[in-house]
């Protein structure tokens, strides 16, 4: 499956507090409303500028901090096709797969804000069409591919009635 969109570049250590700020705690049971504030403390204008299919591009340790699954969920709800980063915090990474948001580990230094990207999830390739460069990303562990292909963890359990990861 190929994804097309524009890169929104962020720095290192984007925390779940940047993505889903605590002051909107009361919107956690109203995800479409919470999604209007996605990444607000990293870039106030992101939620109004992002278009379906665009990419969030971070540096190292993307998603550190709280276990709030609302963080990857509202990134997905905002229409983001995938998050690319040099590394991810553990809980965010697992949550993203569970909610069906592709998270790709690659060298994001060469991607600039606003670049047009094409991501081929199966081939493991990212094409930066603006810069005319190609990047590969680290393949996901098999367990996570299974969950992602089933459409997330809820869909996985609905389909198999149990964990079926072998």
Partner 1 sequence: MGKTIAEKIFCEHVGRDVKAGEIVVADIDVSLVQDGTGPLAVRQLEKLELEKLAKPERTVLFLDHSAPASRKELANDHDTLRNFAKKTGAQLSEVGMGICHTVINEIYVNPGDILIGADSHTCTGGALCAFSTGMGSTDVAIGMALGKTWFRVPETFKVFVTGEFPVGVFAKDLILHLIGLIGADGATYKALEFCGPAIENMSMESRFTISNMAVEAGAKAGLIASDETTKKYLEKMGRGSKWRPIAADDDAEYERVIEIDVSYLKPMVSFPHTVDNTRTIEEAAGVVINQVFLGTCTNSRLEDWDVVSRIVKGKRKAPGIRFIAVPGSKYVEKQVMDAGYYQILAEFGAMFLPPGCGPCVGVHGGVPADGEKSLTTMNRNFRGRMGNPKGEIYLASPATVAATAIEGVIADPRKYARELTSKSFPTIVNTEALKRATVMAMESIEKVATETARKLGPRVKETSEIKSH
Interface residues with partner 1 (CB under 8 A) are 13, 15, 17-18, 21-23, 25-30, 41, 60-61, 64-70, 87, 89-91, 94-95, 98-99, 141-143, 152-154, 157-158, 162-163, 165
Between the alpha carbon of residue 99 and those of residues 38, 42, 102, 124, 132, the distances in Å are 16, 22, 9, 20, 31
Nearest approach in angstroms of CB 19 to partner 1 is 10
Alpha-carbon distance of 95 to 152, in angstroms, equals 9
Task: Closer to partner 1 by CB, 84 or 119: give it.
Answer: 84
Alpha-carbon distance of 16 to 71, in angstroms, equals 6
Task: Closer to partner 1 by CB, 77 or 157: give it.
Answer: 157
Nearest approach in angstroms of CB 158 to partner 1 is 6
Judge whether 97 and 140 are in contact, CB under 8 Å.
Answer: yes
């Amino acid at each position: 499956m190929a994804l097309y969109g524009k890169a929104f570049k962020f720095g290192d250590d984007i925390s779940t507090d940047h993505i889903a700020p605590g002051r909107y705690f009361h919107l956690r049971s109203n995800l479409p409303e919470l999604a209007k504030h996605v990444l607000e403390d990293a870039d106030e204008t992101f939620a109004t500028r992002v278009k379906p299919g665009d990419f969030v591009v971070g540096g190292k340790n993307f998603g550190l901090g709280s276990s709030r699954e609302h963080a990857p969920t509202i990134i997905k709800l905002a229409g983001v096709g995938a998050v690319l980063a040099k590394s991810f915090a553990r809980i965010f990474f697992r949550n993203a797969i569970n909610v069906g948001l592709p998270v790709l580990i690659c060298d994001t230094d060469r991607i600039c804000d606003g670049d047009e990207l094409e991501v081929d999830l199966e081939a493991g390739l990212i094409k930066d069409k603006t810069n005319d460069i190609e990047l590969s990303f680290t393949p996901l562990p098999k367990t996570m591919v299974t969950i992602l292909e089933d459409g997330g963890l809820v869909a996985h359990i609905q389909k198999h009635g149990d964990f079926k990861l072998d």
